């Protein structure tokens, strides 16, 4: 990491990220960029995907997931369209990736579009609280989700709900006894189209029910520290994590750097 990348994250932002376990950045994407991604999603979401790889893997999440009512999730975005390459090393996000993860590597990408009637999914965290640390003035979240809001995420739009400070919580409850805002301390993470949520995956989170008529679409780019073993996390889903050389050949140097673990993966996915 060079000093410039480090310097761009203010002390106030570091304070807030450390306090809450997440940070919201406003107006990262322009209206035109949001429209461009939304148009691609609208083309991709109704399609069917063969997912031949699932037959050999014997398990895994399909490219298009519709198991939750009124919700479409697409996995492995750059495999689906090259428009998604540009968010791998989004210039306004880079300094945060280095500041909060250390040596960031992209592990997973997906989209979620929700329509009226979508319900909560269940409280969860991607990694345990021990994967967040603050030592010698260095913050480290071993997994960081960068969530791009392509449409408004109002409180009734099925926005994300999170437990501020949940990355440092010591006492577990039976999380799934609580739906959404019933969990003590939970807050809705609201924002406008173009805003970005940087969420430590050590923070408990979920999505709220959607009661409004418009579709809510977000993109999720999830990063881990380079020491994290990407391939053992969910062996059945390496297909979505890993991009083959014919995809990576489109990438610029920074996108290549943030996906360099893929050069070391021995299996074809
Ligand atoms: O956007 C949402 O509704 C929740 C997403 C979420 O929790 C996840 O993808 O892990």
Residue 2 confidence (pLDDT): 44
Residue 7 confidence (pLDDT): 52
263 in a structural domain: no
Which residue's CA is the closest to the ligand 1 atom numbered 4? 207
Domain hosting 69: range is 3-46+53-224
What does the block give as tokens for 255?
Answer: 């996108």
Q: For the chain, give the number of residues.
A: 269
9 lines ligand 1 (CB under 6 A): no
Among the atoms of ligand 1, which is closest to the Cα of residue 71?
Answer: 3
SS3 content of the chain, % helix, strand, coil (to 5): 35, 25, 45
135 in a structural domain: yes
Distance 256 CA to ligand 1 centre (A): 26
**Distance, CA of 263 to CA of 265 (rounded, Å):** 6
251 lines ligand 1 (CB under 6 A): no
95 in a structural domain: yes
Q: Between 91-101 and 11-20, two packed helices, what is the crossing angle to 10 degrees?
A: 60
Return all residues near 105 (Cβ < 8 A) that are at least 6 apart.
223, 224, 225, 226, 228, 230, 258, 259, 260, 261
Q: Which residues of the chain have pLDDT under 70?
A: 1-7, 267
230 in a structural domain: no
Residue 139 confidence (pLDDT): 97
What does the block give as tokens for 132?
Answer: 């967040």
Residue 266 confidence (pLDDT): 77
Query: Which residue has tokens 């021995």?
Result: 266
CA 237 to chain centre: 15
**Distance, CA of 196 to CA of 153 (rounded, Å):** 11
191 lines ligand 1 (CB under 6 A): no
The domain that holds 174 is classified in CATH as 2.60.120.620
Residue 1 confidence (pLDDT): 44
205 lines ligand 1 (CB under 6 A): yes
112 lines ligand 1 (CB under 6 A): yes
255 in a structural domain: no
Residue 6 confidence (pLDDT): 45
Distance 266 CA to ligand 1 centre (A): 30
159 in a structural domain: yes
pTM for this prediction = 0.96
Q: How many domains does the chain divide into?
A: 1
Phi, psi for 189 (deg, rounded to 5): -100, 95
231 in a structural domain: no
220 lines ligand 1 (CB under 6 A): yes
Distance 112 CA to ligand 1 centre (A): 7
pLDDT digits (tens, 9 = 90+) for 88-116: 999 999 999 999 999 999 999 999 999 99
CA 52 to chain centre: 25
Residue 236 confidence (pLDDT): 85
112 in a structural domain: yes
Distance 124 CA to ligand 1 centre (A): 9
pLDDT digits (tens, 9 = 90+) for 218-230: 999 999 999 999 9
Residue 3 confidence (pLDDT): 41
């Amino acid at each position: 990491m060079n000093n410039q990348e480090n310097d761009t994250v203010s002390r106030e932002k570091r304070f807030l990220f450390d306090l809450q376990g997440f940070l919201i950045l406003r107006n990262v994407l322009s209206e035109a960029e949001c429209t461009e991604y939304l148009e691609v999603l609208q083309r991709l979401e109704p399609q069917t995907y063969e997912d031949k790889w699932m037959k050999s893997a014997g398990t895994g999440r399909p490219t298009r997931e519709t198991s939750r009512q009124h919700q479409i999730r697409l996995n492995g975005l750059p495999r689906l369209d090259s428009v998604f390459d540009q968010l791998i090393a989004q210039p306004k996000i880079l300094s945060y990736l280095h500041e909060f993860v250390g040596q960031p590597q992209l592990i997973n990408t997906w989209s979620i579009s929700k329509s009226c009637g979508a319900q909560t999914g269940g409280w969860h965290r991607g990694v345990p609280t021990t994967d967040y640390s603050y030592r010698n003035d260095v913050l480290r979240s071993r997994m960081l989700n960068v969530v791009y809001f392509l449409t408004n995420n109002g409180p009734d739009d099925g926005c994300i709900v999170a437990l501020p400070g949940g990355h440092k919580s010591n006492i577990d409850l039976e999380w799934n006894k609580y739906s959404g805002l019933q969990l003590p301390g939970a807050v809705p993470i609201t924002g406008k189209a173009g805003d970005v949520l940087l969420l430590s995956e050590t923070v408990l989170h979920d999505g709220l029910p959607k009661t409004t008529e418009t579709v809510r679409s977000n993109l999720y780019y999830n990063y881990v520290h380079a020491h994290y073993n990407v391939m053992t996390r969910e062996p059945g889903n390496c297909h979505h994590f890993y991009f083959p050389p014919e995809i990576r050949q489109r990438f610029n140097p920074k996108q290549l750097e943030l996906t360099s673990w893929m050069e070391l993966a021995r299996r074809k996915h």
